[in-house]
Amino acid sequence: MVAMRLIAGTTGPGSADRPDAVSVAGRTLSSEALLGASLAVADEVHGATVVAVDATPTLETVVAVLGGLLAGAAVVPVPADAGPAEREHILRDSGAHHTLTDVDVTRRSSSSYPVPAPDDAALIMYTSGTTGAPKGVVHTHASLEAGVDAVAEAWDWTPDDRLVHGLPLFHVHGLVLGVLGATRAGSPLVHTGKPQPERYAAAGGTLYFGVPTVWSRVCAQPAAARALTRARLLVSGSAALPVPVFERLHALTGHRPVERYGMTETLITISSRADGPRRAGHVGFPVRGVQTRVDAEDGAIGELSVRGPMLLRRYVHQPADLVDGWFRTGDIARKDPDGWHRIVGRASTDLIKSGGYRIGAGEVEDALLAHPAVREAAVIGTPHADLGEAVTAYVVVSTTVGDGELADFVARHLSIHKRPRIVHLVEALPRNAMGKVQKKRLGGPML
């Protein structure tokens, strides 16, 4: 279902052939060529129930994923940076019958395939594995359709848009939104190969996707940032966008970026809207069909649960962790009285219990980033004999500054109990492919 209807946006009956339906790192396919090449892949894998794709930032990956979906297989995107052990685990755990590695995008086919049932598996995406071995998340054609249609409605995404991004093609952000969302909406996709500011500036898009690291780098190149003033919408996700980056992006481009929230298991469930206000540090409201609740009282921070049609149907080899349709995200959030949601962080690393207070790491990080000498900041709780946990900051600075000065700076901007008790000045923060800080690695030898 999702396979035919996603690709039909640019290639369906009666639609004009788009010469630039998809472009990756300067290589382009028309919508007619995209369909023909994808059907050639479908011919190759037809009959397989699970197909793995080496998800590199290439035109071959786009064609391979669409071809697998058209054939009715469940597609497993294998991270381009996966080590041998992770790759072996994904292939073995998913039961992939075939791995697409050498896709020829010049091949063409005119075959036809039956439309998969809504509840047939479409994608098996693996979690980051921060709390154990990566788990395979099974999304169906119905959950993918619900997910991409909900964000298209929230962002007024139409065939008149031109999407630009340079994100990895094995995550929700880059693949589900950035490839399937574009083909579903019928809008051309320009993948820049790498998310470099100068490539974003030259792409001439109306809709741009980026993670906070990308937007921070865009802001560091004002000329590239100002080139984005002609866009319609800038979207940030995959990690919290620091308030100073939000404000700097607004100053340079005139755009207040849309922030949104989602997970591998849930796709996008909360977002600010194209036709509404955007509030720095907040991810907006539930998208169409979604309900949320926060396990807290009187506007305090607590664990976020979500319910909606885009949630996973199951994990590989085990049922989904759903209770009456609700999924506990493991993320800490605050829901304001007017309905705005703010994601504080992960319950395991970003909720700090210090001296009887519940402190969100993200709030302290934003305060640190407001200091002119601070380039990057990550905050965690570390064991403390008296307080239970001490607010501990790891900070990358651009000029010489003392740790005491940074702690005092936070205390002047937030409640004094939120100031860092310990400040480590480091050369870099450990990040994954999506730019998320890997807080489990903080404190290791690399610092």
Global confidence as pTM: 0.81
What 3-state class would DSSP assign to 347? coil
- Answer for the pair 38, 112: CB distance below 8 angstroms, yes or no: no
The two structure tokens encoding residue 295: 């396990």
pLDDT of residue 446: 34
324 burial level (CB within 10 Å; 0-12, 13-18, 19+): exposed
What value does the CA radius of gyration of the chain take, rounded to a whole number of Å?
22
Q: What is the pLDDT of residue 380?
A: 87
Q: What is the pLDDT of residue 5?
A: 52
Token pair recorded at residue 154: 């929230």
DSSP string, 138-183: EEEHHHHHHHHHHHHHHHT--TT--EEE---TTSIIIIIIIIIIHH
Q: What six digits make up the tokens of 153?
A: 């409605």
Burial 233-267 (b: 16+ CB within 10 A, else e): bbbbbbbbbbbbbbebbbebbebbbbbbbbbbbbb
Q: Tell me if 2-344 shares its fold with 349-441.
A: no
Q: Is the Cα torsion angle 41, 47, 53, 57 positive or negative in sign?
A: positive
Look at domain 2-344 and name its CATH class. Answer: alpha beta
**Residue 441, SS3 per DSSP:** helix
pLDDT for the residue numbered 298: 62
User: Domain segments of the chain: what residues?
Assistant: 2-344, 349-441
Question: According to the model, what pLDDT value does residue 8 have?
Answer: 47
3-state secondary structure of 391: strand
- The pLDDT value recorded for residue 305 is 96
Q: What angle do CA 124, 128, 130 make, to 5 degrees?
A: 140
Which candidate, 390, 277, 294, 297, places its Cα nearest to that of 343? 294
Structure tokens at 239: 């990690």
191: nearest Cα among 329, 28, 387: 28
Q: Spelled out in words, what is the top-level CATH class assigned to the domain 349-441?
A: alpha beta
Q: What is the mean pLDDT of each run of 10 residues along the chain (447 residues)?
A: 48 63 96 96 96 96 97 94 83 93 94 93 83 82 97 97 95 95 95 96 97 91 96 91 90 96 96 95 96 81 93 92 91 90 78 75 85 90 82 91 89 84 91 77 55
